Chain A
Amino acid sequence: MAEEVKSIQLYEDVVGPAVLNQLRQLAGNLEGLKVIHVNSTKTGGGVAEILSWMIPFMRELGIDASWEVIGGNKPFFHTTKLFHNGLQGNQVNLAPHHIQAYEETNRQNADRLRDKLEDADIVFIHDPQPAMLLQLCPNRRGKWIWRCHIDASQPFRPVWKYLRPHFESYDASIFSMAEFTRALPHPQFLVAPSIDPLSLKNVDLPQSEIENTCRQFDLDPDKPILTQVSRFDRFKDPLGVIYGYRLIKKSCQAQLVLAGGGADDDPEGAEVLREVKEAAMDDPDIHILLLPPDAHRTINALQRASDIIIQKSTREGFGLTVTEGLWKGKPVIGGHVGGIILQVINHHTGFLVNSPEGMAQRIRYLFNHREIIDSMGEKGKEFVRENFLLTRHLREYLTLMVGLRRGFADRLIAAA
């Protein structure tokens, strides 16, 4: 089911009128500004989700915003997956033909987009896939910002050495956390991502729909549900989750849901999915769900049906699935990595863990203290309301754009 475009006004009930007023006041400084976001996929993954609400909102606020998706063939996406893994620290084999596929695809896209990009006031390039476009647009008149959504703090050196020159010429970059940054010769801003509370994935659902979804996937209503929602990706450690679940199962009744899908730019997912199915060994209480990219409402229902949300990543960007789980009032057991650390506060919104054993121990603790599950859930939801909804995210982009227009030399800028 496709996400419908919503008006910002609808969010007043969730965040209050003052927050919307902030956005309008800030955007008043940016009226008519030509802003273009460029990424590599229209569906699947956190970036596409963010852009699918951010562009209409910017337009509603009077900014001339648009979204361009670069096209590419299989070798290109295979290469950018290598980049993705390499930036996150995995050793990868980067061969000349990979570089050729990357550069050729960027050149083709530059030919298609050059006029538009060169004419924009601000261009946001998301992740490494389209990063080469900057040097292919020599007559650009606006500011170009590289938006890195992944943890690039300890990249595999050959990948970084190749990509770094592509990033260096940008006017600024944005990272989700300070810990994800690499030294670059331009200002590096920090903007945490967010979720849309009214999207199909996060909107309140009737109980009957949640129950129907459970029936659809043969989930037993009498057994607690543990759910990890993520791509089938090694960094999400689905095998570790299954191992941890087996430790719990020795003493507690529970079901495990591993729900995920592939993204257009992730060819590795099928291989990981096969490994996960093997590890599950036909256990009827392990539900491996390969969902289409538009199964947002299904994911929403699965999260709401869950007792505890798991995100046991070993490397993570920000971890929007954690934010989604917290928003649904569920405690989260998360890997002690990346942006999960910002969201999972031990004993308040969930627990950070470093091993399958840690995951099992914390889940058993919560199963034996049901009242804590509820209190953590309440705290987590308010935490997200204050910090990780799209209105805060949009406000920071608008603030950044005001700064880009007026200059960051003076620390404080009095807006009109």
Chain B
Amino acid sequence: MKDEVISKNSQENMVDVTPFAIKDCALIVRICDLLPAINLRELHERVANCPVDSLYHHFCETAIRPSFDDPEFHNDFARWARRALHDHVLAERLEILHPYSFPHMEELRKEILDIIADRLSEIHYIPWALHDQAFFFKQATTVVFDTNRIIETPEHLCDAVKEMSTSSLYYHFWEARRRTPEKIDDFSFWLKGWNDRGKPLIDAFSRIDFYFMSLKELQDKLCTVMEEVGKTWRKK
């Protein structure tokens, strides 16, 4: 239901070049109705059956939930492979996966299953974790709310991003790719309505390798990019 609401909002932002409504979000995480996995074979079986929201949580919502800001791993499967199974090869293969490069989460699921199955076929034992290091499948409910703040024009975007909470940035830059028809961030979606004025920013945003940044790093990167584009605007 919320997907529809949000998509409509994003569409509205574009069609009339209406001001960009800044939203924010908060997560509440819960345990999935699946037994935790204690070895690699169980992980394979659980990944095959877990809700797609759980895959999304373990790959994408890692950026927003309480965790260390400079993580060695960006998804929970890679982290578990390294820390609990001590399988460095598997951890590296899982870590390089970029969830937003897949057309949808089911494709990502297939890729994870392939990687795990390949690994199981390469080794002559089943890597297992200590009993207190099992992998728990989780998923989150996202509550989205208005901040009652808007961005009038692309020139105001930089200042607005500087003041955004990291969860707001997550919502508009990461989570947007899951719900917008073109799987792009909300800023780019909105900037499309501004034609030539928006295009340099859209191009610059598309070159940001955001998945491997923390949200704070992304915030800084976006501001740097916008300040550079802003200089060209002023020259014109």
What is A's interface to B at a CB cutoff of 8 Å? 16-19, 21-22, 25-26, 28-29, 153-154, 178-179, 181, 187-192, 342, 345, 348-349, 382-383, 386-388, 392, 395-396, 398-400, 402-403, 408, 410-416
Q: Which residues of A contact B155 (CB under 8 A)?
A: none
Kindly supply a per-residue 1/0 record for chain B positions 124-167, scoring 1 wherever the CB is within 8 Å of any chain A CB and 0 otherwise. Answer: 00000001111010111111111110000000000000011111
By secondary structure, the B interface counts as mixed
Additional A-B contacts beyond A26-B26, A179-B132, A188-B30 (10; CB < 8 A): A18-B147, A18-B164, A18-B165, A22-B167, A25-B145, A28-B145, A190-B29, A392-B66, A399-B141, A408-B141
Task: Verify A25–B24 contact, CB threshold 8 A.
Answer: yes
Cross-chain pair count, CB within 8 angstroms? 117
Q: Is B168 an interface residue (CB 8 A)?
A: yes
Using known A-B contacts A412-B1, A414-B5, determine if residue A25 contacts B66 with beta carbons closer than 8 Å: no
Minimum CB–CB distance for B210 against chain A, Å: 18
Q: Which residues of B contact A402 (CB under 8 A)?
A: 143
Using known A-B contacts A18-B163, A179-B136, A392-B66, determine if residue A399 contacts B168 with beta carbons closer than 8 Å: no
Q: Which residues of B contact A181 (CB under 8 A)?
A: 31, 136
Partner of B70, one of A22, A25, A348, A388: A348
Q: Which residues of B contact A25 (CB under 8 A)?
A: 24, 145-148
Q: Kindly report which residue of chain B lies nearest to residue A345, judged by CB atoms.
A: B68
Q: Is B106 an interface residue (CB 8 A)?
A: no
What is B's interface to A at a CB cutoff of 8 Å? 1-3, 5-6, 24, 26-31, 36, 53, 66-70, 131-134, 136, 138-148, 163-168
Q: Which residues of A contact B31 (CB under 8 A)?
A: 178, 181, 187-188, 190
Q: Which residues of A contact B70 (CB under 8 A)?
A: 348
Q: Kindly report which residue of chain B lies nearest to residue A336, judged by CB atoms.
A: B132
Task: Verify A403–B28 contact, CB threshold 8 A.
Answer: yes
Partner of A382, one of B69, B141, B144, B148: B69
Q: Which residues of B contact A188 (CB under 8 A)?
A: 30-31
Task: Verify B141–A190 contact, CB threshold 8 A.
Answer: no
Q: Which residues of A contact B67 (CB under 8 A)?
A: 342, 387
CA distance A398 to B168 in the complex (A): 17
Can you name 19 A-B pairs with beta carbons within 8 Å? Answer: A18-B165, A21-B165, A26-B145, A28-B145, A178-B138, A179-B133, A181-B136, A187-B31, A189-B30, A383-B69, A386-B166, A392-B66, A396-B28, A399-B26, A399-B28, A411-B2, A412-B144, A413-B2, A414-B144
Minimum CB–CB distance for A354 against chain B, Å: 12
Using known A-B contacts A187-B30, A396-B28, A403-B28, determine if residue A412 contacts B69 with beta carbons closer than 8 Å: no
Nearest 6 pairs between A and B by C-beta?
Answer: A412-B2, A178-B136, A18-B165, A387-B66, A415-B145, A414-B5
